[in-house]
Structure 1
Amino acid sequence: MPPSSGAAAGTSVPAATRVIAYAEPGDRAGTRPLAVEMPVNLVYGSVPYAVMMTTPADLVDFAYGFSLTEGLVEDAGEIRGAAIEPGEGGLRLLVDLAPGRLREHLARKRALSGRTGCGVCGIDDLKDIPRAEPRAAAGVRVAPAALARALDALGDLQVLNQETRAVHAAAWAGLDGAIGAVREDVGRHNALDKLIGALMRAGTPPDQGFLVITSRCSFEMVEKAARYGAAVLVAISAPTSLAVERARLHGLTLAAIARHDTVTVFTGRDRLAPA
């Protein structure tokens, strides 16, 4: 199991501020850490594929997770490695695919200009909206108490968010609710891709735990979870209608509006069984 991530060097920068109190005259000087956001160009076989706005931490994990959830690879073995190098105004993430997979990729390459708030940028036809193949493990069972345990622990593990209050998190918890890995990013999609990449690199079986995300649960988040093969996705915020529709299609348990005392189940209630 990959370790939980702490805030990495270079993921925040100090900014000078002036704080104004509405009921008091004048203001006061201060500083506040800001989450770093920068363009990262994913490059496959020397051919640029996507520019994503992301936090410059856990980028090798990001390369693996993004490659899987974009449908460029089926498993970690189809990636021979990833390297990071400086680029003009950002970073370049060089992903080395296995030769056969690279040929397939180059044959169907599409351009994508990624943004932290958009999951289908660059798609120009409705038929190209991502849809994962159903892979959820049918035998997974998670007790509601395990969901509560994971939610209780997650806040203390969001190191960068504690510092900046500006990033999302995605976490992997074992079936007992113990959190084994956390990844953070300014983009909710990126945080989940980083986490999935970390799990891929560690060889973590998707039927041995569940995913927790701190962000809004849109259909892209469900698609990424399904692509990894997770059976249960827990979200802090509410899902969209398409997220629920896709979760049902993929046989994924979707629990959202997750609080410390309650959770609302939208699909797959049968997996959430008391211990």
Structure 2
Amino acid sequence: MTTTHLFRRLARDSNDSERVRAVVEEAPVAIEVNGIGYAVMMATPSDVEDFATGFALAERIVDDVADIDALDVHDTGRGTIVRIAVSPTRAAAVMERVRRRTSDSSCGLCGMDNLDAVHRPLPCVPRSAVGGPALFTALAAMRDHQPLHRATGAAHAAMLCDAAGAIRLAREDVGRHNAFDKLIGAMARGGAAWDGGFALLSSRCSYELVEKAALAGCPMLVTVSAATSLALSRAAAAGLTLVSLARDDAVLFSDPGVGDG
């Protein structure tokens, strides 16, 4: 989703001008779970159902899309409210998560509970057999699946690629985490599987993206910028293959299970 804005362009040769340019839309998306406010995220308000579903899975609010009984989206004019109803079996876990988020709201990631949460166990993902040719095929086609970024220069993308490197599904958002949530949510809602493929993201690789990939059962995560140390260690613990600094001429490949040396 885009809007437009009038900019004044200053040039080195003093040939200044005015131009109208597309701007990516960013707006608050409030997520409620069983009637309780859970989070307010700044996001591009498109594919909101996919975003909310992927967010619920990544936050471990639900274990499976079947745990979501209902999902309603309301545009208020000042932002979007997403109301998620989860099954009774998940209600207690939701209340505990809300309690922790409320107590942590003043200082962010702090306290022993949060430190433990950063290192909580991740599921082991299948071993990836994807090689270089598939990676370079996907990277060459990446821009063709980023219409919002082409228009604005300000959006991230997350893509589902098959084992041969063909891009099967893509989602965009102003936030890299949001884009990946949208992709995971779209896959869950549509019944799509990784099937030996991989995720391709137009961002750096932080530990949160590794968490999302592992929880989604993704065997390989490819990002165009570098990975952090925590991302690498968490990926190794989950058996997730990381590929970073992915360019059309070379990539950095990190085998799962290989620690710092």
When the two structures are superposed, what TM-score results if normalisation uses the length of structure 2? 0.90
Of stretches 44-53 and 141-150 in structure 1, the one that deviates more from structure 2 is 141-150
Of stretches 247-256 and 96-105 in structure 1, the one that deviates more from structure 2 is 96-105
1:40 maps to which residue? 29
Asked if structure 2 preserves the Cα contact closer than 8 Å seen for 1:214 and 1:237, the reply is yes
Asked if structure 2 preserves the Cα contact closer than 8 Å seen for 1:49 and 1:111, the reply is no
SS at match of 2:158: strand
Give identity over the alignment, percent.
Answer: 40
2:38 maps to which residue? 49
Residues 211, 106 of structure 1: alpha-carbon distance in 2 compared, 3 angstrom cutoff = same
Q: 1:154 is matched with which residue: 132, 138, 142?
A: 142
Q: How does 1:8-47 map to 2 (within 5 A)?
A: 11-24=1-14, 27-47=16-36
Q: How does 1:196-207 map to 2 (within 5 A)?
A: 196-207=184-195
1:210 maps to which residue? 198
Residues 17, 220 of structure 1: alpha-carbon distance in 2 compared, 3 angstrom cutoff = same
Asked if structure 1 preserves the Cα contact closer than 8 Å seen for 2:47 and 2:182, the reply is yes
2:74 maps to which residue? 85
Superposition deviation, residue 130 in structure 1: 6.2
1:73 maps to which residue? 62
RMSD: 2.0
Superposition deviation, residue 111 in structure 1: 6.6
Equivalenced residues, count = 251
SS at match of 2:95: helix
Superposition deviation, residue 112 in structure 1: 5.2
Distance, in Å, in 2 between the alignment partners of 1:111 and 1:56 is 27
Superposition deviation, residue 227 in structure 1: 0.8
Identify the structure with bigger relative contact order (alpha carbons < 8 Å, sequence gap 6+): 1
Of stretches 124-133 and 29-38 in structure 1, the one that deviates more from structure 2 is 124-133
Is 2:94 the partner of 1:105? yes
Is 2:229 the partner of 1:241? yes
Asked if structure 1 preserves the Cα contact closer than 8 Å seen for 2:160 and 2:194, the reply is no
When the two structures are superposed, what TM-score results if normalisation uses the length of structure 1? 0.86
Q: Where has structure 1 moved over 6 Å in runs of 4 or more?
A: none
Q: How does 1:142-221 map to 2 (within 5 A)?
A: 142-221=130-209
Give a deviation string over 1:161-206, Cα, whole Å, max 9, x none.
Answer: 0000001111000111111111111111000010010111122223
Asked if structure 2 preserves the Cα contact closer than 8 Å seen for 1:170 and 1:213, the reply is yes
